[in-house]
Amino acid sequence: MSKAQSDPLGLPREAWASRLGLILAMAGNAIGLGNFLRFPTQAARNGGGAFMIPYFVALLLLGIPLMWMEWAIGRYGGSHHGHGSTPGMFQVLARKRWVKYLGVLGLFNPMVVLIYYTYVESWTMAYSFFSATGKYFGITTRQDMGNFLSSFQGFARSPHFPGGIETAYVFMLLTLAINVWILYRGISGGIERLAKIAMPLLFLFAIALAVRVLTLGTPDPARPDWSVASGLGYLWNPDPSRLSDSGVWLAAAGQIFFTLSLGMGSIHCYASYLKRNDDLALTGLTTAATNEFAEVILGGIIAIPVAVAFFGIVETQSIATAGSFDLGFMSMPIIFQKIPLGHFFGTLWFALLFFAGITSSVAMGQPVMAFLQEEFGLTRRKAAMILAVAVFLLIQPVVLYQQFLGEMDFWGGTFALAVFALVEVILFAWVFGMDRAWEEITRGADIRVPRAFYYIIRYVTPLYLILILGFWTVQQAIPKLRMDGVSADARLQVIAARLMLVVIMAGLLLLIGLAWRRRERPGRAP
């Protein structure tokens, strides 16, 4: 792939070195911790096989249309106008100066998620080391393993981490440094090279773990219902009565957002480095298919079936209800102690999660990098240093206080994704115009995009998003805003977390205004 056109300041833009690298990088962006932790817990707690029906409906009517749309917006904004971030892309779609401020969510969402995601990602690196060295071996109950995790995070005391949070802090700094170094290396030299190494290793580790799970059979002959087959049945056998539960449909739609990294701004940024007539239809579909294979096939085989084999269905239901962290960092370490070569497979499991995490986190950092480089004329080195300092400062309260992660995950990593998706589909399909939008999606396509998606993108996807936002607002956002169920001691942390989110949003809006003032000075490119 040759270099794209100049950016808004007339500087040459980067480009992907190969189509394979682009596909692997886009797949790495989509394949994250949620594929192997969040998906199995969501499926298990929402009716097993019944969950998959609304899941695939959401994939067809929400996931694939938004995927193609974000690729098209990104390619149009990048190859036509030299923008690698959504403020500039949104302005050229609508031809209105104020619309650039709507694009702030394409910087806010990835920035907020990057802050807490980097910390969680560092846990996976640490636990891979703990597996290899056997640090948690000998801990045999979920409660004690939970205390191990809490003491690692500095929220509890234990002899495993006498220094408190020091170990977690070291792994956090190392993870942040690796992310910044990859981003500093650039699109082809950093992100693409990472994807070409990390993605094959990720699939190799996942397949090895899946084979190990499938060959476990029934570990305890005295309990024939505690088996991998029972676990697969629990996860995949449908419960038709759950299809009338709106919560299952909302959970499925939410999972599609998380698993494809929609509403984040990272797809737009990656696609902006395409050339004008590069295919996005087949490439985008290949990316989605790669992600679905990792999530539905590999993610569905590993964690929940092996939990049923060793804990039984009743205990596994409790694990699924407790959430992804309980599954990944409390239950799985106990299981590795019960199988041959547990040190080895534990190391593979957490290394797999680390590779899934880092290929996603660098994708979150790239939109901010592109914005700083293209709108302020900064070198990649300076942009990387600014991002590093910002994340380092903002990650401190996430490390020190328990409530920050949950607040940031809901507002920046859940609710705001759907808001951003609704804004962009209205801009693309209704303001930019569906005829022009369809031409952009199908330009250079290596496959024939079914005409039905013209109408799905224009009518069905916006309606789907409005319904999701409506239900999320009533069922989750309003109670969350009221701090229902939050203890008096934790309320101050929640308020502080929200103030930090407001500061991040205000800071990004200010930067957008400054960038456009700079770009519109005499002699600057329009």
CA distance 154 to 152: 5
DSSP letter assigned to residue 482: T
Residue 128 tokens read as 């891979």
Residue 106 lies in a domain: yes
Residue 525: inside a domain: no
User: What is the chain's Cα-based Rg?
Assistant: 23
Indicate whether 198 pLDDT > 50: yes
Report whether pLDDT(217) > 50.
Answer: yes
| pLDDT computed for residue 522 by the predictor | 53
Tell me the mean pLDDT in the region 55-60.
Answer: 94
Q: How would residue 236 be classed by pLDDT, with cut points 50, 70 and 90? A: confident
Q: Is the pLDDT of residue 1 over 50?
A: no
Tokens standing for 364? 């979150």
Confidence of residue 5 (pLDDT cuts 50, 70, 90): low
Q: How many residues does the chain have?
A: 526
The whole domain housing 508 covers: 19-519
Does 98 fall in a domain?
yes
Q: Alpha carbon of 509 to those of 382, 442, 513, 514, 515: distances in Å?
A: 20, 33, 6, 9, 10
pLDDT-based confidence at 443, cuts 50/70/90? very high
Yes or no: say if 6 and 247 are a contact pair by the CB < 8 Å rule: no
Burial of 344 (0-12, 13-18, 19+ CB in 10 A): middle
User: What pLDDT sits at residue 273?
Assistant: 93
- What the block records as the tokens of 62 is 């929400």
Structural tokens at position 100: 């650039």
- Spatial neighbors of 470 by CB under 8 A, at least 6 apart, are none
Query: What pLDDT sits at residue 526?
Result: 42
Residue 8 predicted with pLDDT over 70: no
| CA 468/CA 245 separation, integer angstroms | 14
Query: Where are the alpha helices (H) located in 300-433, listed in sequence order?
Result: 300-322, 324-325, 332-336, 342-376, 380-400, 402-410, 416-426
Task: Yes or no: say if 16 and 71 are a contact pair by the CB < 8 Å rule.
Answer: no
Identify the residue whose tokens are 């960092």.
329
pLDDT at site 344:
97
Is the pLDDT at 523 greater than 70, yes or no?
Answer: no
Q: Say what percent of the chain tops pLDDT 90.
A: 74
Dump pLDDT digits (tens) for 316-371. 888 888 888 888 999 999 999 999 999 999 999 999 999 999 999 999 999 999 99
Tokens of 516: 């456009």
Determine the distance from the C-alpha atom of residue 475 to the mean position of all C-alpha atoms in its chain, rounded to a whole number. 23
Name the DSSP letter for residue 412: I
Backbone angles phi, psi at 12, to 5 degrees: -65, 140
Q: Are 110 and 289 in contact (CB under 8 A)?
A: no
Q: Cα(511)–Cα(517) distance, rounded to whole angstroms? A: 10
Give me the number of domains the chain comprises: 1
Q: Would the pLDDT of 26 be above 70?
A: yes
pLDDT band at 163 (very low <50, low <70, confident <90, very high): confident
The C-alpha atoms of residue 499 and residue 448 are separated, in whole angstroms, by 47
**Residue recorded with tokens 């496959």:** 447
Within 46-160, where are the H helices? 49-58, 64-75, 86-94, 105-133, 142-153
pLDDT (0 to 100) of residue 248: 87
Q: Please say if the pLDDT value at position 112 is more than 60.
A: yes
Q: Judge whether residue 10 has pLDDT over 60.
A: no
Other Cβ atoms closer than 10 A to 36: 27
Task: Give domain status of residue 472, yes or no.
Answer: yes
Question: The domain spanning residue 195 has which CATH number?
Answer: 1.20.1740
pLDDT digit string, tens, across residues 414-440:
899 999 999 999 999 999 999 999 999
Contact 445, 280 (CB under 8 A): yes
pLDDT in tens, 385-405: 999 999 999 999 999 999 999
1 domain-assigned: no
Q: Is residue 154 part of a domain?
A: yes
Q: Would you say 395 and 417 are in contact if contact means Cβ atoms under 8 Å apart?
A: no
Tell me, what's the pLDDT at 265?
93
Residues with Cβ within 8 Å of 253's Cβ and at least 6 positions away in sequence, in order, are 54, 58, 62, 464, 468
Per the DSSP assignment, residues forming a β-bridge with 232 are none
Whether 266 and 187 have beta carbons less than 8 Å apart is answered as no
Predicted local confidence at residue 81, as pLDDT: 82
Does residue 4 lie within any of the structural domains? Answer: no
Q: Is residue 173 part of a domain?
A: yes
pLDDT digits (tens, 9 = 90+) for 176-189: 999 999 999 999 99
Q: Which residues fall within 8 angstroms of residue 153, CB to CB, at 6 or more apart? A: 165, 168
How much is the mean pLDDT over the chain? 91
Amino acid (one-letter) located at 196: K
Q: Rounded CA gap, 316 and 322, in Å? A: 10
Write out the H or E segment, with its range, that includes residue 404.
helix 402-410
The gap between the terminal CA atoms of the chain, to the nearest Å, is: 26
Q: Is the pLDDT of residue 237 over 90?
A: no
- Residue 4's pLDDT is what? 43
Q: What is the DSSP letter of 48?
A: B
- Is the pLDDT assigned to residue 279 strictly greater than 70? yes
* Statement: residue 507 has pLDDT above 90: yes
Range with lowest mean pLDDT among 226-230, 343-347, 423-427, 515-519: 515-519
What SS3 string covers 336-354?
A: HCCCCCHHHHHHHHHHHHH
Residues 348 and 201: their CA atoms lie apart, in Å, by: 10
pLDDT of residue 277: 92
Rounded Cα gap, residues 273 and 6, in angstroms: 11
Q: Is the pLDDT of residue 525 over 60?
A: no
Query: Given this model, what pLDDT does residue 11 score?
Result: 55
Q: Nearest to residue 286, comparing CAs of 23, 526, 21, 1? A: 23
Does the pLDDT value for residue 412 go beyond 60? yes
Residues with Cβ within 8 Å of 35's Cβ and at least 6 positions away in sequence, in order, are 259, 291, 294, 295, 298, 299, 356
The more confident residue out of 13 and 260 is 260
From the CB of residue 187, how many other CB atoms can be counted at a distance below 10 Å? 25
